[in-house]
Structures are given as C-alpha cells and as structure tokens.
Structure 1
Amino acid sequence: MSRRSASLLTSGLLLIGLMFAAVLIRVPYAEMSPGPTVNTLGDHRGSPVLSIEGERTYETSGHLNMTTVRVTGVNYRMSLAEAVVGWLSQDAAVIPHETLYPDERSADEVEQQNAEEFSRSQETAKVAALRELGYELETEIIVSAVVKGGPAQGKLHAGDVIVAVDGTKVTEQEQVAGLVTEHEAGEDVVLTVEREPDDGDDGGDGGRDGGGEERKRLDVTVTTVPAEDDGRALVGIQVGLGYVFPFDIDIELADVGGPSAGLMFALGLIDKLTEEDLTGGTFVAGTGTIDENGNVGPIGGVTMKTIAAREKGAEYFLTPADNCVSATADPPDGLTVVRVESLDDALAALESIRTGDTDALPRCRG
C-alpha cells in the first residue's frame, strides 16, 4: 500500500472514530427550543382553553397566545453531536444541564413541581383578572402544599380548606402554625378541613368556584414530628390563602407546566368577561407570571418563546420588563416586543394596539 493510500485510510478511520465518539459521548448539557403556542381565547384539542359558567361572556376575536418552551428531560443526556448541532442552530439554545435542573430532583419530582406551578398560575390569573374587573373575592385558609414524606401526606391534600385546629376556629394563616406548635412533637393534632368531593390529589389548586358541589367537612388527625432545627412540632404542610370565585372558571390545557402562562390567562379571562374586544382582531402573544395583585414577573426561555410566537403569526409579544434584554437580543423579524410590568400595563398596550396608536407602546430595548 502506498504512503498516500495509507494516509487516506488512516484519516478515514480517524474520521469514522470521531463521528462515533460524537454520537456516543454524553455531555452535561440540555437544550431549549420553541414549544407550542396556544390561543387562550380559542380551543385546544377540541375544548375551550377558558370556560366560564354562571356569568355573562362576550365574543372575542384575534389571539392572546400563551407560549411555551420545549426542554430536554431531567434524565436525558445529550450527545456531543447533538450539542454541536444545537450550538449552531438559531432556533435552539444549549445550556448547562444544571442551569435547568439545579438540584438532584427526579423526573417525577420535576413534573410534579411544574404541575403545581401551572396550577398556581391558573389560580393567580383568575384572582388578578377578577380583581381587575372589580369583583370582591372572599378568602380562606388552605393547605397549599403537603410535604413529601411528612406526617400529613395521604391525610391532607393541597386545596383543603382549614376551618379549625383542635377545635379552635382559624381565620389567619399564622394561627395554624401557632396552634400546631402548642403541642410537643409526637402528639396528635386534629385539623378540621373542608374538601371538594372526590378531591384526593395533592396537586389541587387554591381557589374555589361558585356554584360547585357542596364540600365535605372532616376531622383529620395527624401525629406531629419534630423540626430539624429547633424540635418544634410540625405536621408537614404549607399554609396559604385561597379564594372563593363568584362563578365557575375552568382552564383546560394539558401537557403544559410551569408558571409562565399566568399573564395570558388573565388577559384571556378579561377579554371574555368584558364587552370590549381587547385585541381588535390582532394576533398578540406573550408570557409572564402574574400574582394576585396583577404584578408581572420574569420567566425563562423568552428567546425561544418569541420565535414560537412569530412562527405562529404573532405581530406583538408582551414580555416582562425583566426579560426585555433577552427578548430583544435577536428578535424575529416582524415581531414587536412590548414591555409590561403589570396587568394594567398589558391592558394599556392592548388598547394602543387595537386603536392603532402603536407609537405609544412601551417597546423593549436591548
């Protein structure tokens, strides 16, 4: 064999080896890419995203799309080849695995957290929207979460309304911990709760619609355990504030997790509950968390969400103020990125859009 042939053969074998290595070698990275975007004013998989019963609703037009990001799973390890392709792609972002998954949670725990955050975002969206429209909402003390492996697991459920502790009526969140810690660790505590019929899911929400079935009242006995730091008695729950809604509101959207759809859910509800057509027929998309007072918070993956929105046809994109720099680093052509800090900001932006006064829009600047 000539020297030239030997060199070509060696180079070819080396190239083949490198290709196999690129496919087989796993690297500690994860990938984000544009995910589905769904119109909160429309249907998804044959069912309305937002359903309202017991209150008058109005026809809507245009779009108020919530946006999502696809991410590789917590247990998935990218190959070197996949990472290189992702780094070269304009429609994907390859980032360290620990950035997306900073602790040692299992896939089930990640899924559970995403589901709980999504459920909370639905409830805060309802509260913010109804308050914006002037509704007065009653509040109640609820179990907002049950600690995994704690003494209350399997006995209390997220969404349970706490009526009393050891027979003492509860009217403030702080009362629950105060009454529980009057016990020594190892003693029993009796919590009187009200529960929706057939509600046995630890991922329940923190709100109650009007007109639903009558709730069950029951006494639940929990044996306390000592806190690791100071030994005080604990039952293993987190206590929060729930809201009673004056009519039925249902948000149906499967296979979505996390808190970032809150703003768009709130806008969709306001659009359906008011005679004014918020979009004026325009395609608007957006993202952002929302709290009970209508404050809009930052989210992750905003660059991927702007790409998804524009590919779907959006002309305007509402983004939290803290995400403006990322959202405008390389914005898709034809998409106007609008800065919002609150639900009021978003409503003002929609008014400018539907009236054609787009010079008044608070655009994001990189």
Structure 2
Amino acid sequence: MKITENKYFKKIVIFLTLLLLLLVVIPIPYFIEMPGSSENIRDHVTVNEKRDNFDGSFMLTTVAVQQATVATLIQGYFTPNNDLISKKEMMGTSSDREYEKMQTYYMETSQNLAIKNALDLAEKPYDMTYEGVYVMEIGEDSNFNHLLEVGDTIYAVDGKKLNSSKELTDYIQDKKPGDKVKLSFIRDDQKKEASAKLMKLPETKKTGIGISLVDHTEIESKDKIDFQTDEIGGPSAGLMFTLELYGLLANKDLRDGKEIAGTGTIDQEGVVGRIGGIDKKVIAADAEGAEIFFAPDDKIDAEMKKYDPEIKTNYQEAVESAKKNKLDIKIVPVKTAQDAVKYLEK
C-alpha cells in the first residue's frame, strides 16, 4: 500500500513540476509591453567631453518589453497599462538578430539627425554626408525578399544616386506595380546590385518595394559629440537628443530647473514623428517626476484613417493616458524641434 501511494506521490510531483515549468519558465511567442523607465539624457551625451550641468533634466522615455509565459500572460491581463503583442506584431518578419540590428540602426540614425538639427538650431557649421537608405525590414511579399538584407545601404536606383529616402520613395511611386527596378547597395563594405519587380503596398495601395527604410547619414563637425547608448535602441529619442545637444552646443539653459520628458523621431528638417507606446511612456515620465512631456502632434492622413479608423495622434494618445491614469504632468504638442525650443524659451 505504501509503495503504491509513493508512486502516485511521485507522479503528482512530476506533473506539478511540469505544470510549473509550462506556466512560469517556458516562453510563448508573445511579448508584454508595459511602462518602462525615464533616463536622464545628460548621462548619455557629451559635447567636447562636457556634460549638461544645468538644473533640471531632459529625459528620454522607454517602453519595457518582456517575453511572455503563461503566468506573466495571465498577470498582464489583470495589470493596467500592460499590452500583449505577438512576436510578429513587434518584429514583423525579422529574426531576433535582424530586429536587434534594426533597433541599433534606428538609434544611430536618430543620433545623427539630432546632431544635424541641434547644430542648425545653434547655427554651427557642419558637413553632412548622405550615405543612402538603410534597409530596416523586408516584407514577406516583397520581390526583393532574399535579395536584400537588414542593414544594407541602398545608394542608387536604376543608376540614379540618392540624396534622401524621399527621392527613392518618389521615384518608386511614379512607377506601376510590376515595373522592374535595379537597386544598388552596400553590404559589408562591398557594392552589390539587385533587380526585381515593384508591388502594390497593402496598407497604402501605392507602388513600393516592400521594405521599411531610414536615411543613413554621417555628420562631421568641429564639435566632438559622443553618445553612450549601448542599452537603448530605436528612433524615438530623436527629439529629446536634439534639445539636449542644442543646450550643450549653445551653452544655453532651456529648462529653467524643470524636469522635462518627451518622445518622437526627428527628420532632417526637424519634424517630430510619431512613435509607438506613448501611453506607457507618459506613465514612465510621470513616475520619474517629469513636469512636462513633449508629444508628437503628428498628422493623420486619409490613408492612415482608412487603414485604422480609430487611429489618434500621439498627442491625443498621451493626453488620454494622462487623464486615464490621473497623472500630474503637462502634455505639450510639438510638430517640430523648433516648436519645443520656442515653448521652453517663453
């Protein structure tokens, strides 16, 4: 009798151990997004080997991402401001390695564009070299799939040298789906070429290549600008990097002792672009004591509305999150870096 009971007990222990592993340890192909951290940018940027020593701070904000297990999935369902997203929603068709590379390139590009805009604001000279267009993601349906790789730099189309990603987009959109184009690109310091047919993009119905892209630029200036952002990826710190650098380059106190956070990409003209997870970034900023939060006041066009009838501007999303979570933080809409500077100088 005791031997039989012992066998049953062992089976129960094994079953419970396997169940615990399934619930707590074994990952599932989903991620949980939640409010992350707010980082003081003075810890990540120097100009001529000097850091920002004015009172207050500029903060970049992050969204925390956790690989889901069954246990964290259940916990996340009952936790406010946590969202569950599939691996495909977050990474598209990219592998883990490609996704990490993509985030690194986004960060490098946002830094270069922030330098360019900060130097413009400070009216300081520089030389900008346009290297081409980074390939950030390749759609499964793209005819260039398996011909291009994440990290390739496209520098010409049909022999025409590119001076911006807009030139590439405009050139492609003047053609029809099915037309063939030749892309010249650099991979591992070697020049290569690939030809394939264009497609109709499912989201916009316009002619396209079926890739995500971002400008690859290099800035040379007399001022020595360094970033220390090894643990941070993505393009969303562009605006806040610009403000931090402008203050350092112009030796100007923009904050007047205030704690200021914000988010948004930045382009060559200083336009602030939308980002994901702004509802969570506002919460992270408030938790760190930010008084002001700059949010992209991006334009929602008819095509975007058609694709997602419920879409809102980043500014609207930030305001809703602040109200919903009863946050004591002022949300300020900005369309350009200059808008943020004007607000701070008032």
TM-score of the pair, normalised by structure 1: 0.62
- Partner residue, 2:93: 104
> C-alpha offsets along residues 50-85 of structure 1, whole Å, 9 cap, x if unaligned?
11129x98742211000111113xxx4x33432221
**How has the CA–CA distance of structure 1 residues 141 and 299 changed in structure 2, closer, same or farther, with 3 Å as cutoff?**
closer
Question: Does structure 2 retain, via aligned residues, the 8 Å contact 1:286–1:317?
Answer: yes
- Partner residue, 1:82: 72
SS for the counterpart of 1:324 is helix
Report the CA distance between 1:302 and its aligned residue: 0.8
Report the CA distance between 1:260 and its aligned residue: 0.2
Opposite residue 133 of structure 1, the aligned amino acid is: A
Give the helix-richer structure, 1 or 2. Answer: 2
Question: Does structure 2 retain, via aligned residues, the 8 Å contact 1:173–1:241?
Answer: no
Distance in 1 (CA, whole Å) between partners of 2:214 and 2:55 is 41
For structure 2, which runs of at least 5 residues remain unmatched after alignment? Answer: 1-15, 139-144, 169-183, 199-212, 298-312
Please show how residues 158-177 of structure 1 align to structure 2 within 5 Å: 173=163
Residue 50 (1) aligns with residue 45 (2):
yes
Please show how residues 236-247 of structure 1 align to structure 2 within 5 Å: 240-247=216-223
Opposite residue 284 of structure 1, the aligned amino acid is: I
> C-alpha offsets along residues 133-154 of structure 1, whole Å, 9 cap, x if unaligned?
222433334255489999999x
Residue 286 (1) aligns with residue 281 (2):
no
**How has the CA–CA distance of structure 1 residues 264 and 240 changed in structure 2, closer, same or farther, with 3 Å as cutoff?**
closer
RMSD value, Cα: 4.3
Residue 346 (1) aligns with residue 302 (2):
no
- Partner residue, 2:225: 249
- Partner residue, 2:23: 23
SS for the counterpart of 1:318 is strand
Question: Does structure 2 retain, via aligned residues, the 8 Å contact 1:57–1:274?
Answer: no
**Number of matched pairs:** 273
Structure (1 or 2) with the larger CA radius of gyration? 1
Opposite residue 272 of structure 1, the aligned amino acid is: L
> Which deviates the most, 277-286 or 135-144?
135-144
- Partner residue, 2:39: 38
Opposite residue 329 of structure 1, the aligned amino acid is: E
- Partner residue, 2:123: 134
- Partner residue, 1:305: 281
**How has the CA–CA distance of structure 1 residues 157 and 246 changed in structure 2, closer, same or farther, with 3 Å as cutoff?**
farther
Question: Does structure 2 retain, via aligned residues, the 8 Å contact 1:57–1:273?
Answer: no
**How has the CA–CA distance of structure 1 residues 240 and 21 changed in structure 2, closer, same or farther, with 3 Å as cutoff?**
closer
Opposite residue 110 of structure 1, the aligned amino acid is: Y
- Partner residue, 2:272: 296
Residue 121 (1) aligns with residue 116 (2):
no
Residue 326 (1) aligns with residue 317 (2):
yes
SS for the counterpart of 1:228 is strand
Question: Does structure 2 retain, via aligned residues, the 8 Å contact 1:118–1:257?
Answer: yes
Question: Does structure 2 retain, via aligned residues, the 8 Å contact 1:64–1:264?
Answer: yes
Report the CA distance between 1:245 and its aligned residue: 2.0
Percent sequence identity over matched residues?
27
